[in-house]
Structure 1
Amino acid sequence: MAVNSNELRQRKASGQNGTQNGTTTDEGRKQDELLDKHQSYEFGGPWGVTAMMTGFPMLMYYLWICLWFYDGKLVAPTSTDDIVPFLWRMWAHVRDDASPNAYAWKVYTGLVVYQLFLALVMPGFKQEGLPVPSLTYKTLTYNCNALYSLYATMITAAGLHYYHIFRLTEIIDNYGHIMSVAMIYGFAVSFGMYFITVATGSQMRMSGNFMYDVFMGACLNPRIGSVDLKMWAEVRIPWVIVFFLAVSGGCHQYEQYGYVTPNMAFMILATWLYLNACAKGEECIPQTWDMYHEKWGFMVIFWNFAGVPFTYVYSVVYMASHDPSKYQFSTPVYVLLFSTLLTAYFIWDTSMSQKSRFKMQTQGINTFRSTFPQLPFGTLKNPEFIQTAHGNRLLVSGWWRYSRKPNYVADWIMSFTWGVVIGSATAIPYFYSVFFITVLIHRCGRDFERCSVKYGKDWERYCSIVKYKFIPGIY
């Protein structure tokens, strides 16, 4: 079904089936009320989430041990008689090389406290979020100062490294110890927020099962002063650690070999692009599903505090502990690798910007923050959309004309390059892209199902226009 541009623009002007500024209609409020209740279990229910809460930390330890101590090979017991000795060897590595020692507590806690301090005191751009159905369509204001905080952090880290107060090289050398502390933080914050929320009577969308509710979360937008903890943790913790792990790997190589390999430089660039994009486009985050609907539970908290930073950069861990000859490429391969990264980044950055700024436009916000780098095609002029009976608008312009999730496609391609950067030396760095595509497919299923309920026939019309879920012309 072809897009009728004139019809879409007329609907935009008249507010047909909705309102001129995208305000939720009475019909839309009924659908939101339905979606804002616990209806069914996800992730395999209580048993499934319990398995993930116990199994994922063990998987993180296992992959790190294989990478650091077994040359990236996926080791296993050689026989049934070797099972107990094998488990004991795994435990010995955790006990001796990943203990939550004083150094790790100092480093990780120092980062958390410093990032929270910066979030509280740094000047920022005030951004209004989308109306939150769970809060009777109240809009929350977010102080977007991640960019100032990022550069303050980089300057601080550079100074500490230069004056030998805190050597960045030590981060990668203490990877296991810091990872253990990060896991403890993930569990402590998750359970702590659950009990605080229930004690204050501010829980919402609860299932009644303890483990499931801890996993999915009880609160929506917890705050300390002007800091929205959910948005703060999404940007200031995981991606800062990911970037500095890459920088630490580069420092490690320079001190050992006198140079930084193109592969490690690739990871420093890739992690900086991602971190800087989150910081410079922070005002777009309040417009996302994560902020106005997803609760702050173990699923999000543990992933931000421990999962992302200590599973996404396995390539850095491998390169920091192996001779560069194991993963060197030819010049044309490096050119292709960097080109792929930058192209995927451009599509990811601009598609996220297009969608978020389109949502801002529906709220009457037409002046956008200018931060580096602002890429062309990030803001759509006279965007085409479908005005739904719910009151919301579904964008069918820009990258969103060709795929329902163009940002996911580009994001996954970037994740894949983070594994390709070490070639076939080991399969473990590809964990990020394999896990990520699984998460994205599951999340799309959740999102598309919710949209089907929320928009009804308007969603069917949208799907007839934007035919492909991910890759245009393929799927």
Structure 2
Amino acid sequence: MAPSTDSLSQAGSTTTVVRPRKQRPIEATELAIKDQTFTDADVWGRAGLGRSWLRSLVGASPVFLAPIGSICIFITLVQYEGSFSLFTSAVKEHGFRNICAQYGPQITIKGIGAVICWLAVQAILYIYLPGEIHQGQLTPAGYLLDYKINGLSAWIVTHLLYGGLSWLGILDPGFIPRNWSSLIGAMNLAGFVISALAFVKAYVMPCHPEDRKFSGSSLYDFFMGIELNPRLGDKFDLKLFSNGRAGMMVWTLIDFSNMAYQYQNQGYVEPSLILVTALQTLYVVDFFINESWYTRTIDIAHDHFGMYLIWGCFCFLPTTYTIQGQYLGLYPSSASTPYLAFFFALGVAGYVLFRVVNHQKDMVRRTGGNCTIWGKPAECISASFRTSDGRQHTSLLLCSGFWGWSRHANYVGDLFLSFSTCALVGSTKAVVWWYAVWMLVLLVHRCIRDEKRCSVKYGAAWTEYCKRVPWRFIPGVWFLNEMRPYDSVVTLDCVAHILIVSEFSFFISIEKQYTVLRLFIGIRDERVHLFDDMGHMVGAAIGQIANVFLV
């Protein structure tokens, strides 16, 4: 029987498991909801009970705030030319409720029908297109699940189908931007409905009961999720479908539809929109080429299936990650050729870094560490961990190549790519840069929570790994092993100030773009803000942004 492997996207680890288990672990016991009292000391990947009501409420606040944020971005983009200052002025004058009622997304039969058709087509492709079977990462309860990988062929078929129907005159190629209001309304609705169904399913029809996680707060569990790998039947993985098909698949389709919309309106497509679409297509196609790798990342291996993931994939990703294409589709413009060439090259370089770093880790995972990196044998630390069925396993923590430089070098490439995509728009409107700011918040937060989990999972081996690789992002200029709480706040605060100052400019300042770039490679400030967890840090950063907008 072939050995299976386990890899953490951030830690660069590789696990060799002697006995793959696809069914319920032999030694696993039923876990009653009220009796599930795992603690960090008991098993990795679990959150104990006893979360305070205030912390639960704060942690689940995006249940209410996230949809409001998506509505605000939509209104700002469509009605106020992407200017948050104009939007906030209108809110002060007319009231938020009136602005939303007049300009906000609408829930219509057409929008709901389009989303249902989209999900139905993707489900058919997911089920019936041929694909290789790959194993994911070992779960905390000891499950090793199989995944059908056919995302690339589904992406090709989807886009050929959209293009073919457009060419035949059956479908308007600019359908998405022309019906964006009703589509956003339907996507918001889908995110909430599916989140509610997932919440109920976790109680009445769980697939892997031992992998469920309960916090003691229903609101928090609704947001963060209970089931780890919910499925319909044995093969239809809801989490992989939501991430890959409901989210990533539609990303490039929205970009191409905005290109068609711009062409229909002015007879040609601006170079800026072509390059933005090219970079994002490169990223999305790479995702599907390496879809089997994605099944071992934190999204699949650690995050549970709740509104955080569901609404994020069904609504937040399509509406936020595509802002650059939306903006250029509505307001055609293009910067100078040298400017576009520089930031496109920077984006490609970021992608190459992202891919090479992940390839090094994946190579170690596939070979069990018997490989060379940069002409030298791979250096790894052997780390053991225990699943809730009592079994011991061994992982390899890679600490050579890029993984010897920093513990999250792949995130640096991701940030360069997202920043370059925003820069290619050639606008200083803050909404255009929201994607880059969001990616910074997301990756900093993901970095910290992933390392906390790795510390629990690997114990002393993780401590030794952090000593050998002390830097989190970029050697010498980013986070040290001992996290100083104000680091991320200061970085986000600086980004916010630059974005807002830029929005009120009457011309595109390349110097400002370079200043933002300098922030992404690590700029520091002596203003110290002490917070006790990342939630406070992100909250403070968002507060800083809001305060500047409202001045």
TM-score bracket relative to the smaller structure: 0.7 to 0.9
Which amino acid is the alignment partner of residue 127 of structure 2? L
Q: Which residue of 2 aligns with 1:250?
A: 259
Q: Which residue of 1 aligns with 2:358?
A: 352
Q: Which residue of 1 aligns with 2:56?
A: 46
Q: Which residue of 2 aligns with 1:386?
A: 381
Per-residue CA shift, 1:135-157, capped at 9, x if unaligned?
Answer: xx221111101111111111111
Q: Which residue of 2 aligns with 1:186?
A: 191
Which amino acid is the alignment partner of residue 361 of structure 1? T
The whole-number CA distance in structure 2 between the counterparts of 1:42 and 1:418 is 40
Q: Which residue of 2 aligns with 1:9?
A: none
Report the Cα offset of residue 424 of structure 1.
3.1
**Bigger relative CO (Cα 8 Å, ≥ 6 apart):** 1
The one of 205, 209, 216 equivalent to 2:213 is: 205
The whole-number CA distance in structure 1 between the counterparts of 2:159 and 2:41 is 42
Report the Cα offset of residue 381 of structure 1.
8.2
Q: Which residue of 1 aligns with 2:114?
A: 107
Alignment map for 1:221-300 (pairs within 5 Å): 221-225=229-233, 226-300=235-309
Q: Which residue of 2 aligns with 1:118?
A: 125
Report the Cα offset of residue 76 of structure 1.
4.8
Equivalent position SS for 2:260? helix
Which amino acid is the alignment partner of residue 89 of structure 1? I
Alignment map for 1:123-202 (pairs within 5 Å): 123-134=130-141, 137-200=142-205, 202=209
Q: Which residue of 2 aligns with 1:309?
A: 318
CA contact (8 A) 2:14 2:368 kept: no
CA contact (8 A) 2:324 2:425 kept: yes
Alignment map for 1:410-421 (pairs within 5 Å): 410-421=413-424
Report the Cα offset of residue 183 of structure 1.
0.8
Equivalenced residue count is: 434
- Bigger drift between 352-361 and 334-343 goes to 352-361
Report the Cα offset of residue 42 of structure 1.
10
Which amino acid is the alignment partner of residue 247 of structure 1? F
Report the Cα offset of residue 248 of structure 1.
1.0
Equivalent position SS for 1:132? coil
Which amino acid is the alignment partner of residue 132 of structure 1? T
CA contact (8 A) 2:133 2:147 kept: yes
Which amino acid is the alignment partner of residue 465 of structure 1? R
CA contact (8 A) 1:253 1:320 kept: yes
Per-residue CA shift, 1:166-221, capped at 9, x if unaligned?
Answer: 12211112112101111111111111111012012537220121111111111111
Report the Cα offset of residue 22 of structure 1.
6.2
CA contact (8 A) 1:65 1:93 kept: yes
TM-aligned CA distance change 1:389 to 1:244, over 3 Å: closer
Instruction: Name the TM-score, length of structure 1 as normaliser.
Output: 0.84
TM-aligned CA distance change 1:259 to 1:60, over 3 Å: same
Which amino acid is the alignment partner of residue 458 of structure 1? A
Q: Which residue of 2 aligns with 1:431?
A: 434
CA contact (8 A) 1:22 1:362 kept: no
TM-aligned CA distance change 1:436 to 1:417, over 3 Å: same
Which amino acid is the alignment partner of residue 81 of structure 2? D
The one of 219, 223, 232 equivalent to 1:215 is: 223
The whole-number CA distance in structure 2 between the counterparts of 1:191 and 1:206 is 16
Equivalent position SS for 1:388? strand
Unpaired runs of 5+ residues, structure 1, are 1-17, 367-376
Report the Cα offset of residue 34 of structure 1.
2.7
Unpaired runs of 5+ residues, structure 2, are 1-12, 20-37, 386-393, 479-551
TM-aligned CA distance change 1:362 to 1:229, over 3 Å: farther
> What is the root-mean-square deviation of aligned Cα atoms in Å?
2.9
CA contact (8 A) 1:23 1:392 kept: no
Which amino acid is the alignment partner of residue 178 of structure 2? D
Which amino acid is the alignment partner of residue 364 of structure 2? F
TM-aligned CA distance change 1:404 to 1:108, over 3 Å: same
Q: Does 2:43 align with 1:34?
A: yes
Q: Which residue of 1 aligns with 2:329?
A: 320
Instruction: Name the TM-score, length of structure 2 as normaliser.
Output: 0.73
Equivalent position SS for 2:46? coil
The one of 75, 78, 82 equivalent to 1:65 is: 75
Equivalent position SS for 2:304? coil
Equivalent position SS for 1:221? coil
The whole-number CA distance in structure 1 between the counterparts of 2:53 and 2:374 is 36
Equivalent position SS for 2:43? helix
Report the Cα offset of residue 395 of structure 1.
0.8
CA contact (8 A) 2:273 2:425 kept: no
Equivalent position SS for 1:287? coil
TM-aligned CA distance change 1:260 to 1:82, over 3 Å: closer
The whole-number CA distance in structure 1 between the counterparts of 2:434 and 2:117 is 29
Which amino acid is the alignment partner of residue 134 of structure 2? Q
Report the Cα offset of residue 356 of structure 1.
3.2
The whole-number CA distance in structure 2 between the counterparts of 1:149 and 1:379 is 35
Higher helix share: 1
The whole-number CA distance in structure 2 between the counterparts of 1:43 and 1:331 is 54
- Bigger drift between 61-70 and 38-47 goes to 38-47
Q: Which residue of 2 aligns with 1:340?
A: 346
Report the Cα offset of residue 472 of structure 1.
2.4
The whole-number CA distance in structure 1 between the counterparts of 2:291 and 2:247 is 15
- Bigger drift between 231-240 and 42-51 goes to 42-51
Report the Cα offset of residue 355 of structure 1.
2.2
The whole-number CA distance in structure 1 between the counterparts of 2:133 and 2:44 is 29
Equivalent position SS for 2:295? helix
TM-aligned CA distance change 1:448 to 1:272, over 3 Å: same
Which amino acid is the alignment partner of residue 442 of structure 2? V
CA contact (8 A) 1:406 1:470 kept: yes
TM-aligned CA distance change 1:42 to 1:406, over 3 Å: farther
Equivalent position SS for 2:61? helix
Which amino acid is the alignment partner of residue 93 of structure 2? D
TM-aligned CA distance change 1:47 to 1:19, over 3 Å: closer
Alignment map for 1:72-83 (pairs within 5 Å): 72-74=82-84, 75-76=86-87, 78=89, 82=93
CA contact (8 A) 1:22 1:393 kept: no
Which amino acid is the alignment partner of residue 462 of structure 1? Y
Which amino acid is the alignment partner of residue 385 of structure 1? C
Report the Cα offset of residue 43 of structure 1.
12
CA contact (8 A) 2:256 2:277 kept: yes
The whole-number CA distance in structure 2 between the counterparts of 1:299 and 1:43 is 19
TM-aligned CA distance change 1:38 to 1:352, over 3 Å: same
